[in-house]
């Protein structure tokens, strides 16, 4: 007797980095979970022939505090149509406005995690930079929030740029790490135009900490004298996480191409998406657009998918549940089509590279329910 299931996704090229699978196979969904696809009677059949099927995408660095901050994107309308089922807010809010963000985000169908900014107001406005003077860090409240809201809050975030830090230099990051040690949590460090060298930053970072904007091209970069600074790959080997976190201002082709040529690949590919860059062609647009750029730069399809699913899921502590298509896991599933579409990709400096393919999201499932589908799919 055939087993009743809700959906059968048939004939797609399944890529599951958790199990090292890249092959044509079927997937079945029942009651929000992935189940055995053999001998089933589906209510709906989805023909995924010629498509790529992956776990729901994880945008590990974006800004989704809509209406709480000026830069926050409308999360469901921007994530589901691009295959993103889990969004990690990268320090949009601090202790003074996180609870407002929480009220909004916990009601979203997108799974939202967050890093808490050490600046109490976070990135509330684009009119001026946040204040990262350690004298104004509210340590006790930070520790309280990290404990009380551990279901959503992952760790701490700081933008450690020279124009933000000023005469404070690296002191704000050092203070954040002291608080993180006490809280036993990881940190994310924004590294564009850093006040000290990249090797000084990674020397301070611990396994599990995140070096964001690894391919940025402003000021001191991870490339020196035409080669990757050796301390960076060494830090990666000991567990520091390197996130591409593209953004409109945080990616340079020359840096990225040198790193990739030498085998220094990012652990994670993310967008740093804000209202300034959402659906703007060339630089950011969406996570599938950024994935398409790495495909044009020569990265293998499976390597790209792993960096937007399995690896960020591992960093979140949910590698199997969110980063795989194993039976029994939450049915966050995306069906993509790799379409022929000549495209120009741009970096912060205006340098351009051409690509011939784009990832196009055909259908998105969140916990077994369709939350997006192209009209012609």
CA angle 80, 293, 63 (to 5 degrees): 45
pLDDT at 8: 98
The pLDDT tens digits of the residues spanning 67-91 come to 999 999 999 999 999 999 999 999 9
The pLDDT tens digits of the residues spanning 339-348 come to 999 999 999 9
pTM: 0.97
pLDDT value at 281 more than 90? no
* Backbone region of residue 268 per phi and psi (left: phi > 0; alpha: psi in -120 to 50; beta: other values): beta
Provide mean pLDDT across the span 163-190.
97
Residue 331 and residue 270 in one domain: no
Provide mean pLDDT across the span 302-320.
98
- The CA distance from 301 to 139, in Å, is 43
Structural domain span for residue 291: 56-322
pLDDT at 1: 86
Q: Identify whether the C-beta of residue 327 lies closer than 8 Å to the C-beta of residue 35.
A: yes
Q: List, in sequence order, every beta strand (DSSP E) within 63-220.
A: 84-90, 111-117, 153-159, 187-190, 210-212
pLDDT at 61: 98
Q: Report the number of distinct structural domains present in the chain.
A: 2
Residue 317 and residue 174 in one domain: yes
The pLDDT tens digits of the residues spanning 80-135 come to 999 999 999 999 999 999 999 999 999 999 999 999 999 999 999 999 999 999 99
Residue 233 and residue 283 in one domain: yes
Residue 63 and residue 122 in one domain: yes
pLDDT at 109: 97
Provide mean pLDDT across the span 1-27.
97
- The CA distance from 266 to 273, in Å, is 18
Provide mean pLDDT across the span 310-333.
98
Residue 252 and residue 367 in one domain: no
Residue 261 and residue 164 in one domain: yes
Residue 50 and residue 135 in one domain: no
CATH number at residue 12: 2.30.40.10
Tokens 């340098």 correspond to: 351
Task: Report the candidate in 225, 227, 277, 300 with the shortest Cα–Cα distance to residue 257.
Answer: 227
The pLDDT tens digits of the residues spanning 133-167 come to 999 999 999 999 999 999 999 999 999 999 999 99
Provide mean pLDDT across the span 5-22.
98
Residue 351 and residue 286 in one domain: no
Residue 41 and residue 68 in one domain: no
Q: Identify whether the C-beta of residue 146 lies closer than 8 Å to the C-beta of residue 113.
A: no
Looking at the chain, the whole-number percentage of residues with pLDDT higher than 90 is 98
Provide mean pLDDT across the span 154-182.
97
pLDDT at 280: 87
pLDDT at 174: 98
Residue 306 and residue 228 in one domain: yes
Provide mean pLDDT across the span 223-232.
97
Residue 81 and residue 42 in one domain: no
Residue 340 and residue 306 in one domain: no
CATH number at residue 78: 3.20.20.140
Residues 319, 107, 286, 374: is their CA dihedral positive or negative?
A: positive
pLDDT value at 289 more than 90? yes
- The CA distance from 83 to 92, in Å, is 22
pLDDT value at 189 more than 90? yes
């Amino acid at each position: 007797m055939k087993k009743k299931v809700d959906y059968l996704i048939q004939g797609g090229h399944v890529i599951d980095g958790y199990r090292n699978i890249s092959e044509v196979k079927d997937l079945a969904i029942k009651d929000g979970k992935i189940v055995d696809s053999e001998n089933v009677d589906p209510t709906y059949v989805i023909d995924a022939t010629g498509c790529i099927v992956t776990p729901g995408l994880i945008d590990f660095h974006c800004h989704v505090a809509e209406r709480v901050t000026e830069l926050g994107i409308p999360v469901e309308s921007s994530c589901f149509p691009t295959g993103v089922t889990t969004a990690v807010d990268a320090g949009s809010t601090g202790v003074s406005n996180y609870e407002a963000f929480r009220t909004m985000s916990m009601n979203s169908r997108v799974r939202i995690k967050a890093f808490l900014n050490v600046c109490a107001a976070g990135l509330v406005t684009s009119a001026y930079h946040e204040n990262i003077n350690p004298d104004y860090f509210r340590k006790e409240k930070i520790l309280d929030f990290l404990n009380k809201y551990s279901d959503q809050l992952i760790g701490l975030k700081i933008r450690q740029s020279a124009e933000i830090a000023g005469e404070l230099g690296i002191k704000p990051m050092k203070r954040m790490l002291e608080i993180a040690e006490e809280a036993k949590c990881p940190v994310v460090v924004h590294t564009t135009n850093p006040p000290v060298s990249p090797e000084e930053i990674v020397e301070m970072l611990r396994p599990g900490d995140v070096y964001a904007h690894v391919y940025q091209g402003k000021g001191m970069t991870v490339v020196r004298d035409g080669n990757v600074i050796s301390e960076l790959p060494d830090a990666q080997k000991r567990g520091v996480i390197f996130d591409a976190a593209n953004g409109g201002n945080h990616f340079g082709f020359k840096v990225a191409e040198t790193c990739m040529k030498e085998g220094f690949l990012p652990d994670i590919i993310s967008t740093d998406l804000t209202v300034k860059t959402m659906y703007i062609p060339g630089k950011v647009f969406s996570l599938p657009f950024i994935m398409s750029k790495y495909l044009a730069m020569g990265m293998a399809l499976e390597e790209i998918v792993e960096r937007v699913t399995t690896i960020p899921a591992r960093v979140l502590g949910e590698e199997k549940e969110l980063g795989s298509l194993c039976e029994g896991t939450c049915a966050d599933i995306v069906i993509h089509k790799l379409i022929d579409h000549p495209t120009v990709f741009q970096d912060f400096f205006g340098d351009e590279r051409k690509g011939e393919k784009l990832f196009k999201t055909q259908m998105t499932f969140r916990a077994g329910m369709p939350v997006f589908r192209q009209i012609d799919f």
